[in-house]
Amino acid sequence: MGAVSGILAAVAGLAFAQLAAAAGRPEASPVTAVGGAVVDLTPVAVREWAIRLFGTSDKLVLGLGILAALAVFAVGTGLLAVRHLPAAIAVTGGFGLVGALAALSRPEASWRDALPSLVGAAVSAGALYLLVTAGQRSRPAGTSQGGPAAMDRRGFGRLVVAVLAASAGVGLAARRLGAHGSADATASRARFVLPRPTVPAPPVPAGADLRVPGLGPFLTPNQDFYRVDTALVVPRVDADTWRLRIHGEGVTRPLSLDLRELLDRPVVEHDITLTCVSNEVGGPYAGNARWLGVRLGDLLREAGVRPPSRGGPADQLVARSVDGMTIGTPVEAVMDGRAALLAVGMNGRPLPFAHGFPVRMVVPGLYGYVSACKWLTELRLTTFAAYDAYWVRRSWAQQAQVKTQARIDTPRPYADLSPGRVAVAGVAWAQHRGIERVEVRVDGAAWQEARLGTSDGVDTWRQWVWPWEATPGPHTLEVRATDGTGAVQTGARTGTVPDGATGWHTVNVRVRALGGGLPAGADRQ
C-alpha cells in the first residue's frame, strides 16, 4: 500500500509539473532541469565515458536514469508515509525544492521556472496524504470481515483509479500544450524560405563521391548528421521573434538584427565538414554539409571590429545560444577570410531544429565546441584572458584546430571477409588545410597510397579507397592521412581531452580460407 501510494503520488506530481512547465518553459520541467544540472555538473571523464558507451543515446539514458531514481525515491517516500505521514510530506517538499533549485540554476532562468517543481511537489504531497489516509482506514485493524474496512478498501481502490485517471488526463494536456507552445516555431520554420545565395557554391565535383558500398554519401543527409549538444529538450526558436545582438570590446557600432535584417546582407554557400572534439579515432561524430549563410567576418567588420592582427582589442568571440551555451572562437580565425558563417541553410533546407534553427555558426577548421554554436542569439567580443566559455570550464582547451584524421568505414571491425579483392574505404579530414594523401597498410607492412575522391576544397573531408588483395587469416588494417601542408598524421595515440584525439584508425578483420568457411589449413591437400 505504501509503495503504491508513493509511486502514484510521484506520477501525479510529475504530471502536474509537466503541465505547469508546458504552460511556461518546457526546460523548467523538474526532470529536464535536474537532467540539465546533472549534465553541467558531470565530470568530463564521466561524460566522455557515457558518450563512448551510449553514443548519442546518452540523453535518453540520462532521462531513464533520473526516472528510475525517482521511482526508487517514490517507493521509499510511500513506505515512510505509512509510518510517519508528516515526514514523508516534508521529504516530498524537499524533492520539490531540489527541482526548483535545479530549474533556477539553469541558464536564462527566471523565478517562474521554480513553479513546475513546486506545483508538482504540492500535488504529490496532497495525493500522498489522500492515498495514505484512505489506505490506513482500509487496514483490517481488528475489524470484522465485510465491515467498514472492506468499504474503505474499495475507497482506496477508487482513489487509486482517480489519481491515475487525473494524472493521465493532466499528462495528456501537458503534451498537447507543449506541442502548441512550439507551434509558432514550427510554423515559422515551415514558412521560412531560404534566401538565394549571392555567391552559390559550385556543384560538388562528380568524383568526390566514390560510391563504394559501405561508405556514406559525400554530403551527409540532415537526418543522418551527428548531433552533439547539452540540450535535453531541443530548443524550438520562433524565427519571427529571433534576434541577434553583436556587442563587446572594440565594437564601435553594436548591432541588433532580426532574421530579415541579417539576410539583407550577401548570402554565401559553402561546403564544410563539421567534427566534434569528443570524436574518438575512427568515431562517428563527423558530418559534411552544404551550408548557406552570411559571412561572419563581414558582419563583424560592419560592427567596427578589427582582428587582433590589425590592432583590435578582442581576441575571442563568444557566441551564446538561447539555452545558455557559450562557445568561444578566435576573432582572428573568423576574420581571416575563411568561410566562417552564420548559417541558416543546411543541404538546401532551413536548419533542422536539432541543428540550430534558425541561425548557427560554422567555422571551417575548428571543432564544433569552439565554433559551431547552435540556436545563436548573441555574439560578444572579449578576450581569452578575460573569459572561459562553457566547455573550457570543463577542462577542454580554449582553442582547438581540427586535427588530421582518417577513418576506415569499410570493412567494419571484425568483419568476416572472403579472400580476394576487398575495397578498403573511408573518409579523411583536415578542415581548412585539406587532404593531400591517404595511405593504408596491412599488418604493419609498407604504406600503400589510396585513391582519393576529387577535392571539393580544403574545408571538407575526402573519401578514399584502396583495393586490397585479401589473403586468408586475421589482418590489421591501418590508415593515415597527410594534410594540405604536407604534415603526416601522427600515429601517437591521445584521448579526446583536452583538444581532440590523435592516432591512426585501426580495424581488425578476418579473411576466410579459400573454399569458404573452413578453418585455416583444413582445405590444404
Ligand X SMILES: Nc1nc2c(c(=O)[nH]1)N[C@H]1C(S)=C(S)[C@@H](COP(=O)(O)O)O[C@H]1N2
Site residues (CB under 6 A) for ligand X?
A: 225-230, 274, 276, 287, 321, 323, 325, 355, 368-369, 372-375
Task: Verify binding: residue 369, Mo ion, rule CB under 5 A.
Answer: yes
Compute the least distance from the CB of residue 422 to ligand X, in Å.
31
Task: Verify binding: residue 225, Mo ion, rule CB under 5 A.
Answer: no
Compute the least distance from the CB of residue 220 to ligand X, in Å.
9
Q: Based on CB atoms, which residue is closest to Mo ion, 306 or 394? A: 394
Q: Based on CB atoms, which residue is closest to ligand X, 123 or 325? A: 325
Task: Verify binding: residue 368, Mo ion, rule CB under 5 A.
Answer: yes
- Please choose, out of 310-318, 369-377, 464-472, 501-509, the segment that lies near Mo ion by the rule CB under 5 A: 369-377
Choose from Mo ion, ligand X, none: what does 380 bind? Cβ within 5-8 Å by kind: none
Q: Based on CB atoms, which residue is closest to Mo ion, 159 or 228? A: 228
Choose from ligand X, Mo ion, none: what does 230 bind? Cβ within 5-8 Å by kind: ligand X
Please, where are the H alpha helices in 182-244?
A: 183-191
Contact call for residues 198 and 169 (beta carbons, < 8 A): no
How is residue 9 written as a grid cell? 503520488
By CB atoms closer than 10 A (0-12, 13-18, 19+), residue 20 is buried
Q: Based on CB atoms, which residue is closest to ligand X, 374 or 380? A: 374
User: Cα separations (Å) of 90 from 265, 347, 361?
Assistant: 58, 54, 47
The span from the CA of 456 to the CA of 81, in Å, is 67
Q: Based on CB atoms, which residue is closest to ligand X, 132 or 281? A: 281
Q: Based on CB atoms, which residue is closest to Mo ion, 20 or 274? A: 274
Task: Verify binding: residue 361, Mo ion, rule CB under 5 A.
Answer: no
Compute the least distance from the CB of residue 15 to Mo ion, in Å.
35
Q: How far apart are the first and last CA of the chain?
A: 74
Choose from Mo ion, ligand X, none: what does 303 bind? Cβ within 5-8 Å by kind: none
How is residue 425 written as a grid cell? 574505404
DSSP-derived secondary structure letter, 401? B
Task: Verify binding: residue 228, Mo ion, rule CB under 5 A.
Answer: yes
How is residue 255 written as a grid cell? 548591432
The span from the CA of 43 to the CA of 497, in Å, is 12
In angstroms, how far is CA 412 from the centroid of its own chain?
25
- Please choose, out of 73-81, 251-259, 268-276, 401-409, the segment that lies near Mo ion by the rule CB under 5 A: 268-276
Cis bond before residue 254 (omega within 30° of 0): no
DSSP-derived secondary structure letter, 224? G
The bridge status of strand 267-275 relative to strand 286-295 is: antiparallel
Q: Based on CB atoms, which residue is closest to ligand X, 359 or 381? A: 359
Choose from ligand X, Mo ion, none: what does 374 bind? Cβ within 5-8 Å by kind: ligand X
Task: Verify binding: residue 250, Mo ion, rule CB under 5 A.
Answer: no
Choose from ligand X, Mo ion, none: what does 295 bind? Cβ within 5-8 Å by kind: none
Compute the least distance from the CB of residue 284 to Mo ion, in Å.
12
Q: Based on CB atoms, which residue is closest to ligand X, 4 or 37? A: 37
DSSP-derived secondary structure letter, 43? -
Sign, CA torsion 104/109/110/116: negative
How is residue 248 written as a grid cell? 563587446
Task: Verify binding: residue 500, Mo ion, rule CB under 5 A.
Answer: no
| Nearest in space to 222 (alpha carbons), one of 130, 355, 114 | 355
Choose from Mo ion, ligand X, none: what does 325 bind? Cβ within 5-8 Å by kind: ligand X
Contacts of 416 (CB under 8 A, 6+ apart): 509, 510, 512
Sole binder of Mo ion in the list 22, 119, 276, 425 (CB under 5 A): 276
Residues that bind Mo ion (CB under 5 A): 228, 276, 368-369
